[in-house]
Chains A and B, each alone.
Chain A
Amino acid sequence: MKNNTAQPDIIDDTSLKTPLRRGIELSVTTAAWLLWVYLVMPGVTLALWAIGIRLFVLEQIKLNNYQGLLSVAGYYLAGLAGIWLALNFWSTYNKSRFGGLDRRRDAGAVTIDELVKCGGLTEADLVRAREARRVVFDFSATTPVLRDTRP
């Protein structure tokens, strides 16, 4: 059986927006894509140079323009390898040191006494609060006060 049988009601209704707002959102997002294209342009240019081999050879190899890319790419590849190694080292260490190791034994259910100590209610009030379908607390003091319960 799958986990997500009932689909949620996704609210995506353009009629909730004015035409002006729709236009602005579309325009600014298109502008954002243009910015991305601008940023990616050196890569695109490089690809286009590669298609025109002679110009590619002239610009990238004879004039040594590829050196910048190679040095940056080299750093990034080294960085990637470093991150990959560090993440795997740390996760392997975690797994070997703590994985499958359950030093914390199941301490069983929380008792009423423990709840009384931690919660600040009396035992009788706590039992009443747990059994009622309607509970009123006052938390204005340092410890809570049970004001009312209804079955």
Chain B
Amino acid sequence: MQWLLSFLYHYPLFMAFVWILGSFAYRRRRIPDLENNRPVLNEYPRVSVLIPCHNEAACIAETVDRMSRLDYPDYEIICIDDGSTDRTLAILDELQPRYSRLRIVTLESNRGKATALRAGLLASKSEFLVCIDADSYLSPGSLHWFLWHFVNFPRVGAVTGNPRIRNRTSLLGKIQVGEYSTIIGMIKRTQRMLGKVFTISGVAAAFRKRALLDVGLWSPDMVTEDIDISWKLQEHFWDIRFEERVLCWIRTPEHVPGLWRQRVRWAQGGAEVMLKYSRSMLDIRQRRFWPVYLEYVVSVFWAYAFLFSAVLAVLNVFFDLPAPYSYATIVPPEWTGTFLALVCLLQGAIALSFERTVEGGLKKYTFWFIWYPLVYWLLSAAATIVGLPKAILKPRGRHAVWTSPDRGL
């Protein structure tokens, strides 16, 4: 069983190396002329910003206000009220006379985000759709960056932005600032450099309408429509780009139950996609997907190996287990713990140096970042352990509807 223990400690270390080196490689590929200067486009096609809302009365007014202040010449805002039972629709009605760009689409009953986006697409008048959540908003120049990819590269089907956390009061908020600033950004950069991304960020993504039609739009029965559409598009050889300069300001849960529900849903969505696309991974034409798929499968295995090992470690305290199962300690053996701890710190420092170019003022949160490696790995593992059976046992063909988690203090 020594190999299992070795795998448990070396896999996170190995992946940390991959994300660090991958991010450096991504950095080398950046186009220096552009850097943070907003790109000038030959044309500025109309853009439709889709905002699905389900019981978003607390934040929709702020979102509409912020989104109406983007400095792109030609865009419309379409809020899709997905059968809200609070005052969301009434607020939107009040807002409409004040915001000339605002259009409202109503679904008579709650059908889930995928269906809401589909309704928005049908009502939209443009070839490019930008989708955000109702509690988030984009930085002013974002549409320029999204459109730069679409206008210059016909094979780009989607572009995903860079989510940044607004609510940072509690420890959970601060930990997630660390997580989004370090691991998530590094993963996206590395995957982009490798050619395929595991998922766009559903909270900030732009799509070419033709690409969406080509793959049959979003799947209403998938619990994470963003992961699914990412795989659909790339399976049909549409390119997905990560644009770190599109900043999307989001709210994240600051209570443990809300965070847990969110992460289990993400894990379930990842597992659903892993199962759904397992067959197409056998196709040689999908070879660029293999590293992303393999990494996901191994991380699921890691989660269950971690559970198995933890159970053995606890049993070992109370019982005298036979030799192969008698773990003396759960502390990383020999120098492994030292390397793991140092590499995590190094990863955080490198990621922060990258992120500094897009968001300043992160340094003051570094004291709290120490939690992120522990929380990230343990929470991800626990959510995966729960999410996989949920994905396997989920009834097929039912619309996936869910309620937004809490939005912090």
Nearest Cβ on chain B to A117's Cβ, whole angstroms: 9
Interface centre among A69, A87, A119, A132 (most CB of B within 10 A): A87
B154 touching A29, Cβ below 8 Å: no
Contacts of A138 in B (CB 8 A): 107-109
Known: A72-B336, A91-B25, A118-B217. A40 touches B154 (CB 8 A): no
- A121 CA / B291 CA spacing, docked (Å): 40
Would B122 and A90 count as touching, CB distance under 8 A?
A: no
Q: Is A48 an interface residue (CB 8 A)?
A: no
Given contacts A72-B339, A80-B21, contact A98 B14 (CB under 8 A): no
List B103-151 residues whose CB lies under 8 Å from chain A.
Answer: 103-109, 111, 115, 118-119, 121-125, 127, 137, 139-142, 144-145
Any B CB within 8 A of the CB of A136? yes
Residues in A whose Cβ lies below 8 Å from that of B245: 3
B169 partner residues in chain A, CB cutoff 8 A: 11-14, 16-17
Q: Indicate if B310 sits at the interface (CB-CB under 8 A).
A: no
Complex contact B168–A10 (CB within 8 A): yes
Give the complex CA separation of A129 and B14 in angstroms.
52
Q: Does B263 contact A (CB under 8 A)?
A: no
Binds A, one of B223-231, B265-273, B365-373, B377-385: B365-373
A139 near B18 with CB under 8 A, answer no
Interface residues on B, range: 35 or more
- Taking CB atoms, residues of chain B closer than 8 Å to A106 are 154
Determine if B249 and A139 form an interchain contact, defined as CB atoms under 8 angstroms apart.
Answer: no
Counted as pairs of residues, one from A and one from B, with CB atoms less than 8 Å apart, the total is 204
B155–A135 CB distance below 8 A:
no
**CB pair A87 B18 closer than 8 Å:** yes
A133 and B153 contacting across the interface, CB-CB below 8 Å: no
CB-defined contacts of A109 to chain B, threshold 8 Å: 127, 210
Which B residues lie within 8 Å of A134 (CB)? 96, 103-104, 106
Interface 9-residue window, one of B275-283, B297-305, B340-348, B386-394: B340-348
Known contacts A36-B345, A119-B121, A134-B104; is-contact A3 B38 (Cβ 8 Å): yes
Residue contact B338 to A39, C-beta cutoff 8 Å = yes
Instruction: Report the Cα distance A33→B13, complex, angstroms.
Output: 19
Contact flags B152-183 to A (C-beta < 8 A → 1, else 0): 01110000000010111111010000000000
Q: Which of A39, A90, A129 contacts B195 (CB 8 A)?
A: A90
> B21 touching A25 by the CB < 8 A rule?
no
In the complex the two chains form, is A28's CB within 8 Å of B141's CB? Answer: no
Q: Report Cα–Cα, A137/B210, bound state, in Å.
A: 22
B341 contacts A36, C-beta separation under 8 Å: yes
Q: List 12 A-B contacts (CB under 8 A).
A: A3-B38, A25-B170, A39-B337, A43-B338, A83-B21, A87-B18, A91-B29, A102-B154, A104-B154, A139-B107, A140-B109, A147-B108
Kindly list 9 other residue pairs between chains A and B, CB separation below 8 angstroms, not including A17-B409, A129-B123, A137-B108: A1-B37, A3-B37, A11-B169, A42-B338, A69-B335, A72-B336, A119-B122, A126-B122, A133-B96
Nearest 9 Cβ contacts at the A-B interface: A39-B341, A25-B171, A104-B155, A3-B141, A8-B249, A106-B154, A12-B168, A16-B409, A94-B195
- A residues apposed to B, CB below 8 Å: 1-6, 8-14, 16-17, 21, 25, 28-29, 32-33, 35-36, 39-43, 68-69, 72-73, 76, 79-80, 83-84, 87-88, 90-91, 94, 98, 102-107, 109-110, 114-115, 118-119, 121, 126, 129-130, 132-140, 144, 147
